[in-house]
């Protein structure tokens, strides 16, 4: 059977047309694959991870100083025992801490002056026993009676000021209360993250980045309510973390 040249020409044209379409589709597919391969993946968010771990220590040092009155509004710390292995610090109304030295004076302000002094190890860890601290409210002026020494109290201690990343201690002082799983706790909020502390101890905060950080300590009951007391909510405090010391 003879095939007309016209039909052959038409059939060839159809084959050529479909082959061009297929080649174009393959080219588009290859270009898409190449674009997917070279597309960059950018990670913009970093996860901040840190944890709190208890520091094991033994500290039985009694407070090495007594307080003596010098005038109506001035008192002094007098050293009554010598022990070069321990340091002592004090604060008034849970304000800035100062290291105690022999015959060191402190001046009272009008109203309540709640003086807390306690012994510490050389690394800053506070000694936590009944013989290691001194607490007294000195009232200047009218008898305000706003501070009850027998109530449950939390005093903020560490961290403060500037610290190195490998030595960020969390420490506080408790009076007339104990912490446990089913009772009172200390709620620590660090950079917005909450931790519930069920044991009075010194803790190490690991994994904090360099820069400014915030911390808040609160003494709470078993239901999470703040226990009344002038210092049981430390408020938000700031401290600066530096890179590891060399």
pLDDT digit of tens for each residue in the chain (246 aa)?
A: 454 544 444 445 544 544 554 554 555 444 444 333 332 322 223 345 678 888 877 787 788 899 999 999 999 999 877 766 788 999 999 999 999 988 999 999 999 999 999 999 988 899 998 889 999 999 998 766 678 999 999 999 999 999 998 889 999 999 999 999 999 999 999 999 999 999 999 999 998 999 999 999 999 999 999 999 999 999 999 999 998 766
Cβ–Cβ under 8 Å, residues 214 and 240: no
* Order of all β-strands in the sheet with 98-99: 98-99, 87-92, 111-120, 133-140
The predicted pLDDT at position 178 comes to 96
The predicted pLDDT at position 10 comes to 47
The predicted pLDDT at position 80 comes to 78
Here the tokens at position 101 are 């030295």
The predicted pLDDT at position 224 comes to 96
Q: Are strands 162-164 and 237-242 parallel, antiparallel or unpaired?
A: parallel
The predicted pLDDT at position 62 comes to 80
The predicted pLDDT at position 82 comes to 72
Q: How far apart are the first and last CA of the chain?
A: 97
Q: What is the 3-state secondary structure (H, E, C) of the chain?
A: CCCCHHHHHHHHHHHHHHHHHHHHHHHHHHHHHHHHHHCCCCCCCCCCCCEEEECCCCCCCCCCEEEEEEECCEEEEEECCCCCCCEEEEEECCCCCEECCCCEEEECCCEEEEEEEEEECCCCCECCCCCCEEEEEEEECCCCCCCCCCCCEEEEEECCCEEEHHHCEEEEEEECCCCCCCCCEEEEEECCEEEEECCCCCEEEECCCCEEEEEEEEEECCCCCECCCCCCECCCEEEEEECCCC
Containing 162, the helix (H) or strand (E) segment is strand 162-164
Question: Is domain 51-242 given the CATH code 2.60.120.200 in the classification?
Answer: no
Please give the backbone phi and psi of residue 4, each rounded to the nearest 5 degrees, phi first. Answer: -60, 140
CA pair distance 119, 17, nearest whole angstrom: 94
The predicted pLDDT at position 166 comes to 87
């Amino acid at each position: 059977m003879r095939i007309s040249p016209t039909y052959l020409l038409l059939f060839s044209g159809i084959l050529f047309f479909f082959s061009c379409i297929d080649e174009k589709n393959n080219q588009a597919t290859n270009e898409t694959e190449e674009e997917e391969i070279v597309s960059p993946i950018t990670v913009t968010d970093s996860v901040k991870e840190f944890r709190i771990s208890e520091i094991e220590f033994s500290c039985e040092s009694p407070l090495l100083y007594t307080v003596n009155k010098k005038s109506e509004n001035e008192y002094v710390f007098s050293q009554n025992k010598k022990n070069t292995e321990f340091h002592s610090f004090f604060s008034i109304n849970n304000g800035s801490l100062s290291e105690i030295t022999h015959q060191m004076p402190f001046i009272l302000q009008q109203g309540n002056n709640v003086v807390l002094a306690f012994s510490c190890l050389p690394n800053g860890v506070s000694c936590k026993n009944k013989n290691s601290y001194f607490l007294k409210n000195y009232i200047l002026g009218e008898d305000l009676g706003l501070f009850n020494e027998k109530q449950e109290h939390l005093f903020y201690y560490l961290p403060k000021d500037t610290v190195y990343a490998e030595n960020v201690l969390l420490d506080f002082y408790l009076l007339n209360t104990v912490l446990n799983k089913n009772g009172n706790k200390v709620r620590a909020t660090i950079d917005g993250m909450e931790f519930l502390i069920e044991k009075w101890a010194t803790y190490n905060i690991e994994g904090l980045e360099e820069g400014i950080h915030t911390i808040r300590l609160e003494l709470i009951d078993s239901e999470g309510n703040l226990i009344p007391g002038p210092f049981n909510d430390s408020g938000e405090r700031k401290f600066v973390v530096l890179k590891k010391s060399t």
